[in-house]
Amino acid sequence: MGKILADRTSKIDASGIRKVFALAAELKDPVNFSIGQPDFDVPDALKEEAIKAIKDGLNKYSQTAGDSLLKGKIAEQLKGEFGWSEPAVLVTSGVSGALLLAFMALINPGDEVIIPDPYFVMYKHLVNLLGGRCVFVDSYPDFKLPVEKISEALTNKTKLIILNSPCNPTGVVYSEQQIKALAEAAAEKDILVMTDEIYERFCYDGDCPSIAHHYDRTLLLRGFSKSYAMTGWRLGFVAAHESLRDVVEEMTKIQQYTFVCAPTPLQKAAIAALDYDVSDLVDAYRKKRDLLYEGLKDKFELIKPGGAFYAFVKALAGSGTEFVEKAIASNVLVIPGNVFSEKDTHFRISYATSDDKIRQGIEILRKL
């Protein structure tokens, strides 16, 4: 079989999350702390928009770069938020689609990509797939943005710095001060920053600062999956200051030959989603965050998450993987930290589940 397959397939392995699902397949009604997917459904008003678009026959391809009304509305909002005069916008098949297009447009074999560790699982594997080199910058134990270490890691081969705030898997939100300092470090060497802000609506203790406020050489990735529970709708976008229009145009060209376009009727629903108020849903998740944190903080070492819906918890004895095996044997699904990190000391909890399940899970984890 090895002779048939392309060499690049050996550069990635099956997701550790999938391995956990395989282990867990036998469990009856487990406490599922594993999946990063909201436990609420798409709001009815937005479902109606999608249904209307389907019934109205808006089921053909959109333009490669996305529905013009949706792109226009995204651009207007970003002008207001960042003061960009003519933002470049591309609607993508989820933020995952945007990540692949960005990496394909930017990374040559041998290029270095700076990634704070812990990191979202996809970054590492896509960079490796394209022959780039991941340069992991340790942010343990508090998971703050390690600006000094990033500055030290920059070389003449550095192509890109990746930011993810609120962060998956840690739930940490980088401070304005840290982000400004990183913008200065990147500007000094004229290095592109990609900021993955899929969780930007889920901020519990104030605003989520964006580096796009401070640095024009920023590729901004945002999406609809988490805020509106549209994970299966596959909708995201990439936007940039007009000075990076050429990058977004190259990504659009690659989209033409890969994804073709994002799903058309669902783009129509996304126009309405941009005005939809999710603050009550965010409030519910703040309470879930508090419930989990208060339930575990005296037994486990964990940083209080400021956003997203994850906690990254230190395994008290042995490796993260060993702890996860014990947890699964006790009917709680969590993900080993080494899926998201070069270390195997922690495990990730997603508290995107019911309050009852959170209480049940806390009780079992405390006993472990």
pLDDT at 1: 53
- For residue 159, give the 3-state DSSP assignment: strand
Distance CA 306, CA 166 (A): 7
Q: Which domains does the chain have, with CATH numbers?
A: 7-42+278-367 (3.90.1150.10), 60-273 (3.40.640.10)
306: left (phi over 0), alpha (psi -120 to 50) or beta: alpha
pLDDT in tens, the chain (368 residues): 558 999 888 888 766 666 666 777 778 888 999 888 888 888 899 999 999 999 999 999 999 999 999 999 999 999 999 999 999 999 999 999 999 999 999 999 999 999 999 999 999 999 999 999 999 999 999 999 999 999 999 999 999 999 999 999 999 999 999 999 999 999 999 999 999 999 999 999 998 999 999 999 999 999 998 888 888 889 999 999 999 999 999 999 999 999 999 999 999 999 999 999 989 999 999 999 999 999 999 999 999 999 999 999 999 888 999 999 899 989 999 999 999 999 999 999 999 999 999 999 999 999 98
Q: Which of 219, 209, 203 lies closest to 92, judged by CA?
A: 219
Model confidence, pTM: 0.94
Contact 210, 223 (CB under 8 A): no
Distance CA 123, CA 341 (A): 11
Token representation of residue 185: 């470090």
Token representation of residue 241: 């200051």
pLDDT at 15: 61
First-to-last C-alpha distance (Å) of the chain: 42
- For residue 107, give the 3-state DSSP assignment: coil
166: left (phi over 0), alpha (psi -120 to 50) or beta: beta
Distance CA 45, CA 35 (A): 25
What residues contact residue 81 under an 8 Å CB cut-off, 6+ apart?
210, 212
Pairing of strands 112-117, 88-92: unpaired
